[in-house]
Amino acid sequence: MFTIGLDLHKRETQLCIGHEDGTFEERRIATTRDRFTAVLAAYCPARILLEASTESEWVARHLEQLGHEVIVADPNFAPMYATRTRRTKTDRRDARTLMDACRLGAYREAHRASDERRHVRAELAVRDALVRTRTRYIALIKALIRRDGLRLNSTASHLFAQRIAVLDASQQLRAELQPLLEVLAPLNTQIDTADERISALEHTDPAVALLMTAPGIGPITASAVVATVDDITRFATAHQFESYLGIVPGELSSGEKRRVGPITKAGNARVRYLLVEAAWRILASKQEDAAVLRAWALKIMVRRGKRIAAVALARRLAGILYAMWRDNHAYSAKRICAPRSVLARAS
């Protein structure tokens, strides 16, 4: 069987095709379905290794349709690059390294999400882009208003234009703001539509509905967690799940020195900041089912401050979501351990 390393890029792809006798050949082709079919059909069946990237999923599916065995590898797995030299990095050397890793089995397969979950991730990415655009426009409008000595208190996005209409603004300022205000209306409509589509997952995806029973977790956060993780059985422990989301403390240790610093921020940034926002909602909430979590975070707040307490609570919330999803068990405040000070007062 042929062994192929594929260094995938947006426009061109470097191939290293290994033969059974140990020889190999190198080619560079355009990253299109037609070129993959024309070049690699002659080597079918082959085992092909490529790194996970933006284009990797459609390329992998196309090559699998041709009859190849395709492995999408985790690019963060260091042993996969064990044969790479310290010389200048090139696409040819990268493809050769991938071919050697495929031949040796020195790779770790990346998780390939289902079509449904990939679609939800795309929906969330589009919504995130719309919200960021609206936030940028609102920030610019507020800056222009402050330039003229006016003030606009914080308000809901759908009421923003109404609040501006009652300001004692000059005609020149209103002319400057008009193009932005005309864009905000359709932006709000599109964001509301996206929210409705994502909220509908509560009725169609059991995992989303399950996670929404936790305090501070709404349809956006639950959908983001489910779409990003896809399969909870990928993680053996809650700590692995938290590490995957990048909300565990980073560590830099050498010899007798051990330094623990800020969170690693690895993994999906959207899920991470949504969990932190959920933690802030719990801190500000007065719901009884969140009392134990709030008390635990307040104890940290006294020692370390609000921000560290919020991140710590986000990490614990991630562990709770992991256990809920793993056990298929809705949130129950009785299953959450209270801090020792609270238990002492209760006794």
> Is residue 224 within 8 Å of residue 271, measured between CB atoms?
yes
pLDDT of residue 89: 84
pLDDT of residue 344: 47
pLDDT of residue 346: 44
pLDDT of residue 152: 84
Mean pLDDT by 10 residues, the chain (347 residues): 94 95 94 96 94 95 96 91 78 93 94 94 96 94 92 83 88 93 93 96 95 96 96 95 93 79 89 96 92 93 94 96 96 74 45
Topology of domain 2-104, CATH: Nucleotidyltransferase; domain 5 (3.30.420)
Q: Helix 219-229 and helix 269-284: axis angle, to 10°? A: 150
pLDDT of residue 171: 93
pLDDT of residue 338: 54
pLDDT of residue 342: 44
Residue % of the chain over a pLDDT of 90: 77
SS3 content of the chain, % helix, strand, coil (to 5): 60, 15, 25
What is the CA 133 to chain-centroid distance, rounded?
Answer: 19
Give the 3-state secondary structure of residue 150. Answer: coil
pLDDT tens digits for 2-35?
999 999 999 999 999 999 998 999 999 999 999 9
Contacts of 154 (CB under 8 A, 6+ apart): none
Which amino acid is residue 134, in one-letter code?
A: R
Of 328, 338, 273, 284, whose CA–CA distance to 306 is shortest?
284
Per-domain boundaries in the chain = 2-104, 115-199, 206-346
Structure tokens at 269: 């940034």
Provide the whole-model pTM. 0.87
